[in-house]
Amino acid sequence: MRAGRNVSMRRSAAGLLALGLLAAGCGGSGGSGGDGTVTIRYSWWGDASRAKLINETVDLFEKKHPKIKVKTDFLEYADFWKKFATQSAGGGAPDVFQNSAAFLREYGDKNVLLDLNSQVEAGKLNMEGFRAGLEKAGEIDGKLLAVPVGGNTFSLIYNVEEFEKAGIEPEKGWTWDDYQAGIEKISKKGGIKGAASNAGVMYFYDLLLRQQGKAFFTEDGKLGFAKSDLKKWWSDNYADVRNGTLISQKKADQAAPKSTMSSDLVASEFSWDNFIVRWSAETDTEMALAPIPTTDGKKTGQYYSSLMLSGYARTEHPAEVAQFIDFMVHEPEVGKVMGYNRGVLATEAQYEAYRPEGPDKLVAEYEEEVTDLIEPMTPHPAGTSVAEAAFLRIWGDVAHGKSSVDEGVDQFFSEAEQALGS
């Protein structure tokens, strides 16, 4: 890690509050120097490997823009958003930060996000040359609240050797029955479990609902499923945890922050396709990607999502923020450095500049394979982040046996409906 970078992994709750109050006194900006040099703050979530790559791209930016200095900071996903909530509430959010669709409307409605349209008009930010319509990914109600740096879709990441030994052929059109039979066969052999329990992952459950003509959220921002739907889902998963088909929540927690896949505890796990890049770096086990199993042999419910960069509405340096974002999404050298760490590169210039190898090549090939399965994404309403966190936390309590399925479902609906204002 480059000396002088403000890199932090975890802080206590008191430390987060203190940092938020300190940042509030700075007005959300790193300030300006007497020689005209401007300093902006840039934060994201991820692991140390992502931080190394991002800091390399920051070095490239500073060499091209010597009058703009960038202070960097990162945390794991959940800790990042806890810290961001404190910072934004205190008026001291970073000038530019990593974002996703789940938080656009929530923080957009709170006027935390910078509308970048004026910077596009001023020529500081180019919104042309994006792939697959991603230039629209960060637009909410006519405002440009984020710019994508990479795109991805959901997948099954699996252990090649274990699947081959079990005779499982994960391919387009395979069904949940096919998948269930396969993971049961692996688990019954003893040792490695057939799969992780992803029952608390909102995005994964959303795909299953979409296969049934529903969705996690409706177009008007309500929950798009009934208590009976969730009771069946969590009951089935809890039964598989108890009978040993799925890994126990205790062992999954012990593996954190690594995944159960990269810890070689399971033979498969559902996640965003680009996660195979990180997980492959954490183990020598050969992994591959497969489409989501289906109910009818056709509809997977998959959609294309993206990681994005947003600016802080109260930044003192909106032009410099726009220049920074523009560089990060269009500069070919940035694409060569980042690869598919944050998903397949969002702009044509970076996509063409990078030649994927290893796990990155698997991601590129997978997305080409499932292009015809991709559907439009349901917009995420304000309150999504609270609902997502509650879904994961409450399933964890159910999986640990701290709550019954019925109690967990009732608690989730209560918390989610309150968060969504319904």
Question: In tens digits, what is the pLDDT along the chain, a chain of 422 residues?
Answer: 343 344 333 333 333 333 333 333 334 455 666 678 999 999 999 989 999 999 999 999 999 999 999 999 999 988 999 999 999 999 999 999 999 988 998 899 999 999 999 999 999 999 999 987 889 999 998 999 999 999 899 999 999 999 999 999 999 999 999 999 999 999 999 889 999 999 999 999 999 999 999 999 998 999 999 999 999 999 999 999 999 999 999 999 999 889 999 999 999 999 999 999 999 999 999 999 999 999 999 999 999 888 999 999 999 999 999 999 999 999 999 999 999 999 899 999 999 999 999 999 999 999 999 989 998 887 789 899 899 999 999 999 999 999 999 999 999 999 999 999 86
Look at residue 144 and tell me if it is in a domain: yes
Q: Is residue 86 part of a domain?
A: yes
Centre a 10 Å sphere on the Cβ of residue 104 and count the other Cβ atoms it contains.
24
- Could you give phi then psi for residue 97, rounded to 5 degrees? -155, 160
Residues 332 and 288 in one domain: no
Residue 233 lies in a domain: yes
Q: How many residues does the chain have?
A: 422
Please indicate, yes or no, whether residues 410 and 281 belong to a single structural domain of this protein. yes
Looking up residue 324, the CATH number of its domain turns out to be 3.40.190.10
Largest interatomic CA distance in the chain: 68
* Segments forming the whole domain that contains residue 21: 13-149+315-364
Q: Are 288 and 158 in contact (CB under 8 A)?
A: yes
The answer to whether position 103 is within a domain reads yes
Select from 325, 344, 364 the last residue of a domain: 364
Residue 69 backbone phi and psi in degrees, to 5: -105, 145
| 249 token code pair | 């929540």
Residue 74 lies in a domain: yes
**DSSP H helical ranges for 73-226:** 77-89, 101-109, 117-121, 160-165, 176-188, 202-211
Cα–Cα distances (Å) from 46 to 49, 63, 288, 401, in that order, read: 8, 24, 22, 30
Domain count, the chain: 2
In a domain, residue 2? The reply is no
User: Same domain for 144 and 249?
Assistant: no
In the chain, count of helices (H) and strands (E)?
17, 11
Question: Do the strands 139-140 and 38-45 form a parallel or antiparallel pair, or are they unpaired?
Answer: unpaired
Instruction: Show the tokens assigned to 363.
Output: 């991601």
Lay out the sheet containing 344-345: strands in order across: 68-75, 38-45, 96-100, 305-311, 147-152, 344-345
One-letter amino acid at 45 equals: W
* DSSP 8-class letter at 128: -
**In 145-255, where do the E strands start and end?**
147-152, 154-159
Q: Are 124 and 326 in contact (CB under 8 A)?
A: yes
- Are the C-beta atoms of residues 267 and 159 closer than 8 Å to each other? yes
* Rounded Cα distance, 311 and 145, in Å: 8
Residues 348 and 380 in one domain: no
> Hey, what are 78's tokens?
């959940």
Q: What is the pTM of this model?
A: 0.80
Closest to 401 in 3D by CA, of 240, 197, 249: 249
Same domain, 138 and 19: yes
Q: What angle do CA 137, 141, 145 make, to 5 degrees?
A: 50
Does 98 lie in the same domain as 34? yes
Task: Clarify whether residues 140 and 243 are in a common domain.
Answer: no
Contacts of 319 (CB under 8 A, 6+ apart): 119, 122, 124
Q: Are residues 130 and 163 in the same domain?
A: no
Q: Same structural domain for residues 40 and 65?
A: yes
Domain end marker among 326, 341, 364: 364
First to last CA, the chain: 46
Question: Would residue 416 count as lying in a domain?
Answer: yes
Specify whether 120 is located in the same domain as 168: no
Same domain, residue pair 115 and 176: no
402, 279: one domain: yes
b/e per residue, 297-313, with b = 16+ CB within 10 A? eebbbbbbbbbbbbbbb
What pLDDT sits at residue 18? 35
In a domain, 49, yes or no: yes
Residue type, 291: P
